[in-house]
Amino acid sequence: MTPASAPAASTAEAGGRVLDHPALDEIRIEGVLHALSDPMRLRIVRELAAAEGELTCSRFELPVSKSTSTHHFRVLRESGIIQQIYRGTAKMNGLRRDDLEALFPGLLDSVLGAANRQVRRVGEDR
Amino acid sequence: MTPASAPAASTAEAGGRVLDHPALDEIRIEGVLHALSDPMRLRIVRELAAAEGELTCSRFELPVSKSTSTHHFRVLRESGIIQQIYRGTAKMNGLRRDDLEALFPGLLDSVLGAANRQVRRVGEDR
């Protein structure tokens, strides 16, 4: 399975280390909502949206262990919310904005808006 | 704790059987997204939205046991998505549309839109 929006060139770049991503028609609203229902994952998505580009995993200073962090990124990838691509030795993370917008118009923006408002209202997530 | 949008009269009607609901400032985006991430619960919310009013639990013909169904309704209530009020012996369910819209503008409609499109695309949820 290849990520719908990952450029084919990434395979060569990665020397074959390509991570599984759901194709567009495999992404389900239940999985997306589940992935977004965790405070740490929601925080990752908010930071990726604010960055408006790819970020390495190490750019996120999450108050959780490395293995928990890796788990959260995997849940986000397997649900179709982010793509993870090796560029050299760095694993880069990016939102699949266009794919999500095509499937669920307005959903990501309304979740991001709600999450950002909540942070202003009750403070940062744990 | 009293539901923010439940009329005070419901206490008397119910003869004291009042169910706990989160107040507006206790509702969290993570809890709402988690509650919506289950196919059965998403189906309940879609049907409530289509009904544009209150429905008894028995109006939902869900392919799950009575206790599982009760669990799903409780998760929806405790996350702040629905209110459940006894009217006589009937437990009535209604969406807390105004409360959700005040906290997370556009969220419920974008989730409902996404869920309805998915049903048209891949069929009804199990």
Within 8 A by CB and 6+ apart from B56, the residues are B90, B91, B92, B93
Q: Chain A partners of B105 at a C-beta cutoff of 8 Å? A: 110, 113-114
**Minimum Cα–Cα distance from B28: chain A residue:** A118
Residue B2 is predicted with a pLDDT of: 44
Say yes or no to pLDDT of A33 above 80: yes
Query: How do beta strands B90-95 and A82-87 pair?
Result: unpaired
Closest Cα to residue B54, out of B21, B111, B95?
Answer: B95
CB B107, CB A112: distance < 8 Å: no
B34 vs A31: CB contact, 8 Å cut-off? no
Confidence of residue A15 (pLDDT cuts 50, 70, 90): low
Residue A42 is predicted with a pLDDT of: 95
Residue A122 is predicted with a pLDDT of: 87
Residue B58 is predicted with a pLDDT of: 83
ipTM score of complex: 0.83
Residues of chain B with pLDDT under 70: 1-16, 125-126
**What is the mean pLDDT of the segment spanning A91-101?**
96
Tokens found for residue A112: 């991001």
**What is the mean pLDDT of the segment spanning A14-29?**
86
Tokens found for residue B79: 């996350």
**Minimum Cα–Cα distance from A79: chain B residue:** B37
**What is the mean pLDDT of the segment spanning A34-61?**
93
Query: In angstroms, what separates the C-alpha of A34 from chain B's closest C-alpha?
Result: 5
Q: Distance of alpha carbon A83 from its chain centroid, rounded?
A: 6
CB B42, CB B112: distance < 8 Å: no
Mutation target for A interface from B33, B75, B125: give the one with most A CBs within 10 A: B33
CB B22, CB B78: distance < 8 Å: yes
Q: Chain B partners of A78 at a C-beta cutoff of 8 Å? A: none
The torsion angle over the Cα atoms of residues A19, A47, A98 and A91, rounded to 10 degrees, is: -20
Say yes or no to pLDDT of A96 above 90: yes
Say yes or no to pLDDT of A14 above 80: no
Residue count of chain B: 126
Query: In angstroms, what separates the C-alpha of B8 from chain A's closest C-alpha?
Result: 27
Q: Which of A37, A113, A115 sits opposite B37 (nearest CB)?
A: A37
Q: Chain A partners of B118 at a C-beta cutoff of 8 Å? A: 28-29, 103-104
Residue B13 is predicted with a pLDDT of: 44
**Minimum Cα–Cα distance from B30: chain A residue:** A37
Confidence of residue A36 (pLDDT cuts 50, 70, 90): very high
Q: Chain B partners of A105 at a C-beta cutoff of 8 Å? A: 110, 113-114
Mutation target for B interface from A24, A28, A29, A116: give the one with most B CBs within 10 A: A29
Q: Tell me the residue ranges of DSSP E strands in B1-126.
A: 55-56, 82-87, 90-95
Residue A10 is predicted with a pLDDT of: 41
Residue A22 is predicted with a pLDDT of: 97
Q: Which of A29, A109, A115 sits opposite B114 (nearest CB)?
A: A29
Domains and CATH numbers, chain A: 6-112 (1.10.10.10)
Q: Which residue is it, tokens 């239940």?
A: A30
Say yes or no to pLDDT of A9 above 50: no
Q: Could you tell me the pTM of the whole model?
A: 0.85
Highest-confidence range of A27-31, A118-122, B56-60, by mean pLDDT? Answer: A27-31
Q: How many pairs of residues across A and B have Cβ atoms under 8 Å apart? A: 85
Residue B60 is predicted with a pLDDT of: 86
